[in-house]
Chain A
Amino acid sequence: MESRNRPAIFLLILCLLIPVGGCGKKTVAAWDDDIHIDMIVKDSRYDYWKVVKMGAEAAGKEFGVAVRFSGPTDEKNIEQQIEMVQEAIDLKTDAIVLAAGDYIELAGIAEKAILGGIPVVIIDSELKSDLVKSFIATDNVSAGKKLGEALAEKVGNTCSIAIMGFVKGTAPCVQREEGLHESLKNYPKINVLTKEYCNSNEDTAEKLTEQIVEKYPDIDAIVCLNAYGTVGTARAIEKLDLAGKVKIIGFDSTPEEISFMEKDVIQSLVVQNPFSMGYLGVKYAVDAINNADIPQRVDTGSTVIDKNNMYLPENQKLVFPFTD
Chain B
Amino acid sequence: MTKRLSGIKKVFSGIRNFPRATSIQSIIALSFTAVTILSIIFVSLALSQMFSDSAEKNAVFNTQQIMDQVNLNLNTYFKGMMEISDLIRSRLKADTENNENTLSNILEVTSGIRKDIAAVAIYSKDGTLVTSYPKRSYNENFSAADQEWFKNSINDPTDFFFLPPHVQTLFEDERPWVVSLCRGSTFYDKEQKATLTTVVDMNFSSIEELCSRVSLGKRGYVYIIDKSGNIIYHPQQQILYVGLKNENIADALNKEPGSYFENFQGEKRIMTIKNISYTGWKMVGISYVNELVTDKKYFLKFFIYITLFAIVFGTMASLFVSAKVSKPIKQLEKQMRKVENGNFDINFEVKGEDEVKHLSKTFNIMVAKIKQLMGEIIKEQEEKRKSELKALQAQINPHFLYNTLDSIVWMNENHNYEGVTVMVAALAKLFRISISRGNEVIRIADEIEHARNYLIIQKIRYKDKFDFTIEAEPDLLQARTLKLILQPIIENAIYHGVGPISEKGEIQISVTRDEDIVLFKISDNGYGIKPEVLKELLSSESKSPHSDGVGLKNVNERIKLYFGKEYGIQIESEIDVGTTVNIRIPFMENGLKDGGKNGITK
Contacts and interface: CB of A to CB of B under 8 A. Distances in A.
B277 interface: no
B141 A16 contact: no
A275 interface: yes
A279 B239 CA distance: 8
Contact of B308 (A15, A276, A320): A15
A18 B308 contact: yes
Interface string B216-255: 0010000000000010000011110110100000000000
B517 interface: no
A58 B239 contact: yes
Nearest to B164: A313
B169 interface: yes
B204 A31 contact: no
B469 interface: no
Contacts, number: 84
Chain A interface secondary structure, helix, strand, loop or mixed? helix
Interface in A128-148: none
Contacts of A15: 305, 308-309, 312-313
Given A31-B218, A311-B167, A322-B237, A273 B242 contact: yes
Q: Which of B208, B244, B306, B313 has the most CB of A within 10 A?
A: B244
Contacts of A32: none
Contacts of A316: 166-167
A93 to B, nearest CB: 24
Given A19-B305, A22-B301, A255-B175, A62 B141 contact: no
Interface residues of A, number: 37
A324 interface: yes
B406 interface: no
Interface string B162-178: 00111101001101110
Interface in A284-324: 307, 311, 313, 316-324
A193 to B, nearest CB: 30
B77 interface: no
Interface string A31-57: 100000000000000000000001100
Contacts of B208: 324
B301 A262 contact: no
Nearest to A29: B218
Given A275-B238, A324-B204, A8 B177 contact: no
A263 interface: yes
A157 to B, nearest CB: 28
B417 interface: no
B169 A8 contact: no
Contacts of A319: 167
Contacts of B308: 15, 18
A194 interface: no
A54 B172 contact: no
Interface string B134-171: 00000101000000000000000000000011110100
Given A18-B308, A307-B141, A275 B242 contact: yes
Contacts of B238: 54-55, 58, 275, 317, 321-323
B302 to A, nearest CB: 7
B301 A11 contact: no
Nearest to A8: B316
B305 A317 contact: no
B147 to A, nearest CB: 10
Given A307-B141, A322-B241, A18 B175 contact: no
Interface residues of B, number: 35
B61 interface: no
Interface string B358-384: 000000000000000000000000000
A279 B237 CA distance: 13
B12 interface: no
A18 B313 CA distance: 14
Interface string B184-209: 00000000000000000000110010
A319 B14 CA distance: 85
B320 interface: yes
Nearest to B176: A323
A215 interface: no
A12 interface: yes
A2 to B, nearest CB: 12
A19 B305 CA distance: 6
A34 B365 CA distance: 81
A170 interface: no
B316 A11 contact: yes
A151 interface: no
Contact of B236 (A22, A58, A258): A58
Given A4-B320, A262-B141, A307-B141, A317 B241 contact: yes
Contacts of A259: 172-173
B165 A322 contact: yes
A322 B312 CA distance: 60
B305 A22 contact: yes
B305 A18 contact: yes
Contacts of B301: 22
A24 B301 CA distance: 14
A88 interface: no
Interface in B273-322: 301-302, 305-306, 308-309, 312-313, 316, 320
Nearest to A5: B320
Nearest to A262: B141
A311 B169 contact: yes
Contacts of A31: 218
The residue among B208, B242, B302 with the most chain A CB atoms within 10 A of its own CB is: B242
A254 to B, nearest CB: 11
Interface string A158-187: 000000000000000000000000000000
A65 interface: no
A317 B313 contact: no
A280 interface: yes
B305 A62 contact: no
Contacts of B167: 311, 316, 319-320
B521 to A, nearest CB: 72
Nearest to A273: B242
Given A320-B177, A323-B177, A62 B244 contact: no
A279 B166 contact: no
A55 B245 CA distance: 13
A313 B244 contact: no
Contact of A12 (B230, B237, B313): B313
Interface centre among B175, B205, B312, B316 (most CB of A within 10 A): B175
A188 B169 CA distance: 39
A317 B242 contact: yes
A12 B314 CA distance: 10
Contacts of A262: 139, 141
A62 B312 contact: no
Nearest to A261: B141
Looking at A18, A62, A317, which has the most chain B CB atoms within 10 Å of its CB? A317
A11 B311 CA distance: 11
Contacts of A324: 204-205, 208
B452 to A, nearest CB: 78
A263 B173 CA distance: 12
Contacts of A54: 238
Interface string A12-28: 10011011001000000
A16 B309 contact: yes
Contacts of B313: 11-12, 15
A322 B177 contact: yes
The 7 closest A-B pairs by CB, nearest first: A317-B241, A19-B305, A15-B309, A322-B238, A262-B141, A316-B167, A8-B316
Given A62-B236, A320-B175, 4 more contacts: A55-B239, A280-B244, A317-B238, A322-B165
21 contacts: A8-B316, A11-B316, A15-B309, A18-B308, A19-B302, A62-B236, A259-B172, A262-B141, A273-B242, A275-B238, A275-B242, A316-B166, A317-B238, A317-B241, A320-B175, A320-B177, A321-B241, A322-B177, A322-B241, A324-B204, A324-B208
Interface of A: 4-5, 8, 11-12, 15-16, 18-19, 22, 31, 54-55, 58, 62, 255, 258-259, 262-263, 273, 275-276, 279-280, 307, 311, 313, 316-324
